[in-house]
């Protein structure tokens, strides 16, 4: 039960070093096999470190003044600058950037960091065979992305948070744009620009929070106050400042504007309806690992931003915006589900279901009570697990058949029993079957909303029904019924043959066309598959099972006994709720 800050620092730095190592290794002519192992090792070590973080985080830890010590594993390094004293206004102001590399976790970021570290494992494993071209750079980008994502959640400094927030765009842009699907270039640019446009306004909002803090402090103490960028410091001190009536009046006037600025970036990131249009494109075009990380982690940056900044720092404005956001959530839940229902591509279906699920998550957060926010947090984790797993599964299917069309498949349960088992478990988790994780998250989120605004809870219940509808339809059509497999020969997929050849036998020449003879005409390739099909049309192999296993374990674990997870986040959420309750307007 140690709280060694180096664990967190290492989690941010290690992937970066790994990225440098991978590029260096490939420059020295090291083969792909070794590079993949190096990457996997790196990701596994980071994951083990995250376990240390999870077990070491003690939610009941009390500091010397008898208060909960929410932020642990804290470390603060000046960015090569000299310290300027934030807290003591009389200290001289020192010129030079003293951006602090200030890291730490609380019960909220803890789980998101662990989720990131966990999802990197399937992300690497699903890329194992799929990425052959310029693989070293691909893995390097992925590791840089991991570092950025962990950094976002671990930052306790507003500027540092923003740096990581924007920095995650660059590796993902290249991952989508270089290794993505047919429309990858447009998808990459749209993703980048949507996110950038919103986040720039968010940045103004964040700076304005800092400025307002300084001004209010100045008005209260009568002395010139420094600009404070420390997130825990701001969260802790705002209530104290707002006790002053004039500060409260000021804050009531400006905080809706701040909320609007924060909303611009985070709502695009989540995404809330109607800012979701970048999402299906980016998810569908991204390579499998990109989709897993995009859905699993990057969307959570939006909801995390709401929780960390909007709900914690401008709670009054959140009450003001409650109905607006909740209506957008409800529309997103229903609209996303309906769109998912209408898709004929499995990956698109999963992408639209994300819009729906993230609506639940945001609805939970905007319930403004313990149970709702806990539900929202659980939904974040659950969605990361189940959607990550779904994208990984779809990727595996695509690797086998090079199509994702729902109509092309049928009866896969008899062809690939393991695959079908995993797919069905994950689908049920996504639907919210009691006993699996989706249920715990969405039900607690909705319970919270029922307490605050029953009407939105009732409306969004229909989203659960739609969710069951499209997922079950998908499962029925692809897993059960008559066995149906896509044709792999002469299918207007000129790339298919060459690709399949590289997948099955990396050393084989690209002109390997012999494998498609007589296959798929009757849909029963099982018996007469040549040895070259060994990995092509068989059930999940060990690597793929290893990618899915940790996700499945957690899906069941959170479904059966979420208490372990909830207990660690409880005090942090209680602090947010305390602030929200204090800011609750009389008429709401």
Partner 1 sequence: MLETFKILLPASVLIVAALICFLGGTTKISKQVWGPFSLLSLALASVLLIAMPQILSGSTPLPGDSTAVIFDPLARISEFLALMVGVLFAGMAFRQEADDESAPEFYGLLLTLLSGLMVVSVANDLILLFLGLELISIPTYILIYLGKRDTRCQEAAAKYFLLSVLSAAVLLYGLSFLYGMTGSTNLTTIRGVLQQTYGVTNGTVQAASVSKLGIVALVLIFAGLGFKLAAVPFHFYAPDVYQGTNAWNAGLLSVVPKAAGLIALIRIVSHTMVGYEGFGQTVALILALVTMTAGNVLALLQTNVRRMLAYSGVAHAGYMLVGIAVGFWDSWNPTFRLDPIYGLPVGIQASLFYLITYSLVSVGFFAVLVFLARPGKEIEHIEDLTGLWKSQPWLAIAAAIFLFSMAGIPPLPGFWGKLALFGGALSVRGDLSGAIPYPNPSFVALAIVGMLNAAIGGVYYLRIIALMFLHDPLSTPQPRGGRPAMAAVTLCAIVTIVFGLQSRPVLTLLRDIDQPTAIQVATTPKSLPMTAAK
Asked whether position 169 contacts partner 1 by CB under 8 A, the answer is yes
- By the rule CB under 8 A, 469 interacts with partner 1: no
Minimum distance of partner 1 from residue 226's CB (angstroms)? 7
Least distance to partner 1, CB of residue 38, Å: 21
For partner 1, which is the closer residue by CB, 80 or 513? Answer: 80
- Pick one of 15, 177, 411, 457: the residue that binds partner 1 (CB under 8 A): 177
Q: Does 277 bind partner 1 (CB under 8 A)?
A: no
Question: Within a 10 A sphere around the Cβ of 194, how many other Cβ atoms?
Answer: 20
Q: How far apart are alpha carbons 545 and 288 in whole angstroms?
A: 16
For partner 1, which is the closer residue by CB, 88 or 507?
A: 88
CB of 227 to partner 1, least distance (A): 6
What one-character-per-residue DSSP string does 261-327 give?
HHHHHHHHHTTPTTS-THHHHHHHHS-HHHHHHIIIIIHHHHHHHIIIIIIHH-HHHHHHHHHHHHH
User: CA-CA distance, 73 to 57, in Å (whole number)?
Assistant: 8
In whole angstroms, the minimum distance from the beta carbon of 246 to partner 1 comes to 5
Phi, psi of 536 (to 5 degrees): -70, -55
Closer Cβ to partner 1, 184 or 383, answer by number: 184
Of 120 and 209, which CB lies nearer to partner 1 in the complex structure? Answer: 209
The three-class DSSP label of residue 103 is: strand
Rg (CA), the chain: 24
Chain CA centroid to CA 516, Å:
39
Binding mask 215-244 for partner 1 (x = CB under 8 A): xx-xx----x-xx-x---------------
Instruction: Name which of 189 and 491 has its Cβ closer to partner 1.
Output: 189
Residues 48-107 that bind partner 1 (CB under 8 A): 79-81, 84, 93-99
Q: Measured between alpha carbons, how far is 377 from 369 in angstroms, rounded to an integer?
A: 12
The answer to whether 331 and 338 have CB atoms below 8 angstroms apart is: no
Secondary structure (DSSP) of 237-249: HHHHHHTSHHHHH
CB 126 within 8 A of CB 288: yes
**CB proximity list for 284: less than 8 A, separation 6 or greater:** 181, 187, 291, 345, 347, 348, 351
Look up residue 522 and give its two tokens.
């009757």
Of residues 370-409, those binding partner 1 (CB under 8 A): none
Of 493, 498, 521, give the one whose Cα is nearest residue 511: 498
Which one of 135, 140, 156, 188 is in contact with partner 1 (CB under 8 A)?
188
**The only residue of 71, 128, 192, 335 in contact with partner 1, by rule CB under 8 A:** 192
Total residues binding partner 1 (CB under 8 A): 51
139 or 423: whose CB is closer to partner 1? Answer: 139
Q: For 520, list phi and psi in degrees, rounded to 5.
A: 80, -5
Helix (H) or strand (E) holding 234: helix 231-242
User: Which residue's CB is nearer to partner 1, number 268 or number 573?
Assistant: 268
Span from 69-77, 194-202, 266-274, 468-476 in contact with partner 1 (CB under 8 A): 194-202
Q: How far is the CB of 206 from partner 1 (least distance, A)?
A: 10
Nearer to partner 1, 31 or 81 (CB): 81
Beta strand pairing call for 100-105 and 72-78: antiparallel
Q: Which stretch binds partner 1 (CB under 8 A): 167-175, 342-350, 417-425, 563-571?
A: 167-175
Out of 47, 111, 174, 319, point to the residue binding partner 1 (CB under 8 A).
Answer: 174
- Out of 77, 193, 243, 458, the only residue in the binding site for partner 1 (CB under 8 A) is 193
Shorter beta-carbon distance to partner 1: residue 247 or 452: 247
Residue range at the interface with partner 1 (CB under 8 A); choices 58-66, 162-170, 295-303, 529-537: 162-170
**Cα angle at 393 between 392 and 399, to 5 degrees?**
90
For partner 1, the binding residue among 10, 61, 167, 320 (CB under 8 A) is 167
Report the C-alpha gap between 75 and 4 in whole angstroms: 9
What is the rounded distance in angstroms from the CA atom of residue 451 to the CA atom of residue 423?
Answer: 34
Collapse the DSSP code of 334 into the 3-class scheme (helix H, G, I; strand E, B; otherwise coil) and give the result.
helix
Cβ(11)–Cβ(50) under 8 Å? yes
The minimum distance between CB 435 and partner 1, in angstroms, equals 44
Minimum distance of partner 1 from residue 498's CB (angstroms):
17
Continuous segment of H or E residues that includes residue 14: helix 5-27
Distances in whole angstroms, Cα of residue 329 to Cα of each of 267, 274, 378, 457: 10, 10, 17, 10
Report the candidate in 153, 149, 195, 443 with the shortest Cα–Cα distance to residue 290. 149
Answer whether 387's CB lies under 8 Å from 353's CB: yes
The residue (of 134 and 578) whose beta carbon lies closer to partner 1 is 134
- Compare residues 216 and 313 and give the one whose CB is closer to partner 1: 216
Q: How far is the CB of 266 from partner 1 (least distance, A)?
A: 15
Q: Which is nearer to partner 1, 51 or 243 (CB)?
A: 243
Which C-beta is closer to partner 1: that of 2 or that of 90?
Answer: 90
By CB under 8 A, which span of 212-220, 321-329, 447-455, 539-547 interacts with partner 1? 212-220
Interacting positions 241-270 with partner 1 (CB under 8 A): 246-247, 250, 253-254
Nearer to partner 1, 27 or 64 (CB): 27
SS3 assignment, position 511: coil
Instruction: Tell me if 320 contacts partner 1 by CB under 8 A.
Output: no
Contact 54, 73 (CB under 8 A): no
Q: Which of 13, 170, 327, 338 binds partner 1 (CB under 8 A)?
A: 170
CB of 192 to partner 1, least distance (A): 6
Which tokens is 225 given? 């106050």
Cβ nearer to partner 1, comparing 184 with 453? 184
Tell me how far, at minimum, the Cβ of 233 lies from partner 1, in Å: 14
Distance CA(348)–CA(200), nearest Å, equals 28
- Distance in angstroms (rounded) separating the CA atoms of residues 106 and 73: 9
Site residues, partner 1 (CB under 8 A): 79-81, 84, 93-99, 159, 162-163, 166-167, 169-170, 173-174, 177-178, 184-185, 188-189, 192-193, 196-197, 200-201, 203-204, 207-208, 211, 214-216, 218-219, 224, 226-227, 229, 246-247, 250, 253-254
């Amino acid at each position: 039960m140690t709280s060694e800050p180096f664990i967190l620092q290492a989690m941010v730095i290690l992937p970066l070093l790994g990225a440098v190592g991978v590029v260096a290794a490939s420059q020295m002519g090291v083969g792909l096999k070794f590079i993949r192992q190096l990457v996997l090792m790196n990701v596994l070590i980071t994951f083990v470190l995250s376990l240390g973080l999870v077990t070491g985080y003690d939610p009941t830890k009390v500091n010397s003044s008898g208060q909960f010590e929410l932020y642990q594993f804290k470390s603060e390094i000046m960015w090569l600058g000299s310290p300027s004293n934030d807290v003591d206004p009389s200290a001289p102001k020192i010129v030079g950037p003293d951006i602090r590399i200030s890291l730490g976790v609380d019960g909220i970021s803890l789980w998101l960091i662990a989720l990131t570290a966990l999802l990197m494992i399937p992300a690497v494993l699903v890329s194992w065979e799929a990425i052959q071209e310029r693989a070293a750079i691909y893995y390097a980008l992925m590791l840089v992305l991991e570092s950025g994502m962990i950094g976002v959640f671990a930052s306790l400094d507003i500027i540092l948070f923003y740096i990581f927030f924007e920095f995650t765009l660059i590796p993902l842009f290249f991952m989508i744009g270089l290794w993505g699907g047919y429309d990858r270039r447009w998808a990459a640019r749209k993703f980048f620009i949507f996110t950038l446009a919103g986040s720039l306004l968010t940045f103004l909002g964040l700076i304005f929070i800092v400025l307002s803090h300084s001004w209010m402090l100045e008005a209260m103490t009568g002395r010139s106050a420094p600009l404070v960028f420390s997130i825990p410091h701001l969260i802790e001190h705002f209530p104290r400042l707002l006790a002053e009536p004039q500060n409260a009046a000021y804050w009531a006037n400006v905080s809706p504007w701040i909320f609007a600025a924060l909303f611009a970036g985070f709502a695009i990131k989540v995404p809330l309806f109607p800012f979701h249009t970048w999402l299906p494109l980016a998810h569908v075009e991204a390579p499998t690992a990109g989709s897993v990380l995009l859905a699993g982690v990057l969307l959570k940056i939006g909801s995390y931003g709401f929780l960390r900044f909007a709900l914690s720092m401008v709670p009054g404005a959140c009450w003001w915006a409650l109905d607006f956001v909740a209506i957008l959530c409800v529309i997103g839940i229903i609209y996303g589900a309906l769109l998912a229902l209408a898709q004929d591509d499995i990956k698109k279906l999963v992408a639209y279901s994300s819009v729906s699920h993230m609506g639940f998550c945001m609805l939970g957060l905007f319930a403004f009570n313990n149970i709702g926010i806990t539900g929202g947090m659980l939904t974040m984790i659950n969605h990361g697990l189940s959607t990550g797993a779904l994208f990984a599964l779809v990727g595996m299917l695509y690797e086998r058949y090079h199509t994702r069309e729902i109509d092309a498949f049928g009866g896969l349960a008899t062809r690939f029993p393991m695959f079908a088992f995993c797919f069905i478990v994950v689908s049920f988790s996504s639907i919210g079957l009691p006993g699996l994780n989706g249920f715990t998250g969405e039900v607690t989120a909705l319970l919270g909303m029922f307490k605050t605004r029953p009407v939105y809870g009732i409306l969004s219940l229909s989203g659960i029904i739609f969710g069951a509808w499209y997922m079950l339809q998908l499962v029925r059509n692809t897993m059960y019924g008559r066995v149906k497999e896509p044709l792999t020969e002469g299918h207007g997929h000129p790339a298919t043959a060459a690709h399949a050849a590289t997948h099955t036998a990396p050393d084989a020449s690209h002109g390997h066309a012999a494998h498609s003879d007589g296959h798929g005409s009757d849909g029963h390739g099982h018996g007469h598959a040549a040895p070259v099909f060994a990995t092509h049309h068989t059930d999940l192999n060990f690597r793929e099972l290893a990618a899915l296993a940790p996700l499945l374990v957690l899906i069941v674990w959170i479904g059966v006994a979420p208490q372990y997870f909830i207990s660690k986040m409880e005090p942090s959420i209680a602090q947010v709720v305390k602030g929200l309750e204090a800011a609750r307007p009389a008429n709401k």
